[in-house]
A = this chain, B = another copy of it.
């Protein structure tokens, strides 16, 4: 099996879709000559030309909105919002248009649009370049929401997102781009709505997304050393959510920690906790612990930044807390 970085895996899915299907094209700021601010689209301009790899003005509303219009005409646009912080500028098009055209038209229309974006802390970007906003979109019927944490997943899920007939908001995490992982020779689409059990365990389930999947796996290793067996589940698709896999896991382990980099308050972990306490009520031996960013805009200075965002140590602490409950 070849090894790809997360970055290469995203690029590979894009390139294959572009090769296979004339309806696929890319729009976004600086994605052409420069290859994207995260170097994800490097080389695509050369292979596919400027008609299909389109630099755009700084116009997040029009980028998403024109993607919607092209999708309504049967294209499969993949648009990039450079930082998810700038999704704030395209909320109207995503939430009021993309998510609703199908219902509002009584099923006449479909919107096969993929909106790729990335974010995340860990490099002192300050408060406006590192938010994790995926939870907002989980609240919007009509959208699908994906957040992949490994090269294999990001490739297979991006492919499925491009070929899904619904608008998908596809989150990547900035600090994951360089990580490597084995991927199948042939791209295997990964169905949206299926969680992945990264690691089996019996004492506690950690449901984690994005960067925190890796932090949770590290925490699980450390917990193992203390004799605690941790199961790590990554929903991968946040909407629709694979409630079954998650709830079954917690029924088995009887304890649960949720973990994401986004601010804890109002984050996706809240939805997970609500679902799990409901589905596994009789099984739970401890309250569900939520790990996430502390409640503050991200400060610049590295010591403060690191204090705000969660790490493996925070997950480990939460694991121990749940296990310590009688």
Q: Could you tell me which A residues sit within 8 Å of B by CB distance? A: 85-86, 88-89, 91-92, 94-96, 99-100, 103-104, 126-128, 131, 133, 135-136, 138-142, 239, 241, 262-263, 265-271, 273-274, 277-279, 281, 284, 286-290, 295-297, 299
Residue in B133, B139, B269, B278 whose beta carbon sits within 8 Å of that of A267 in the complex: B139
Residues of B within 8 A of A286 (CB): 281
A142 to B263, CA, bound (A): 12
Residues of B within 8 A of A263 (CB): 139-141
A86 to B95, CA, bound (A): 10
A95 to B267, CA, bound (A): 15
Tell me the number of copies of this protein.
Answer: 2
A287 to B276, CA, bound (A): 9
Q: Are A103 and B266 in contact (CB under 8 A)?
A: no
A299 to B142, CA, bound (A): 12
A270 to B273, CA, bound (A): 7
Q: Are B128 and A139 in contact (CB under 8 A)?
A: no
Q: Known interface pairs A128-B100, A135-B139, A297-B142. Does A265 touch B278 (Cβ–Cβ under 8 Å)?
A: no
Inter-chain pairs besides A133-B139, A139-B262, A274-B288, 20 sampled, C-beta below 8 Å = A88-B91, A88-B94, A88-B95, A100-B127, A103-B297, A103-B299, A104-B126, A138-B265, A139-B266, A141-B263, A141-B297, A142-B296, A265-B271, A266-B268, A270-B273, A273-B274, A273-B277, A279-B287, A281-B284, A281-B287
A266 to B274, CA, bound (A): 9
Residues of B within 8 A of A239 (CB): 265-266
Q: List 19 A-B contacts (CB under 8 A).
A: A85-B96, A88-B92, A88-B95, A88-B96, A99-B297, A100-B127, A104-B128, A104-B297, A133-B139, A136-B136, A136-B266, A141-B265, A239-B266, A265-B271, A273-B277, A273-B278, A277-B277, A277-B288, A278-B289
Q: Known interface pairs A139-B262, A269-B274. Does A128 touch B96 (Cβ–Cβ under 8 Å)?
A: yes
Most chain B CB atoms below 10 A, which of A265, A267, A268, A279: A265
Q: From residue A272, how far is it (CB to closest CB) to chain B in Å? A: 8
Residues of B within 8 A of A270 (CB): 270-271, 273-274
Most chain B CB atoms below 10 A, which of A100, A241, A263: A100
A289 to B281, CA, bound (A): 11
Most chain B CB atoms below 10 A, which of A96, A133, A270, A296: A270
Residue in B91, B128, B267, B295 whose beta carbon sits within 8 Å of that of A91 in the complex: B91
A226 to B135, CA, bound (A): 38
Residues of B within 8 A of A96 (CB): 85, 88, 127-128
Q: From residue A277, how far is it (CB to closest CB) to chain B in Å? A: 4
Residues of B within 8 A of A91 (CB): 88-89, 91
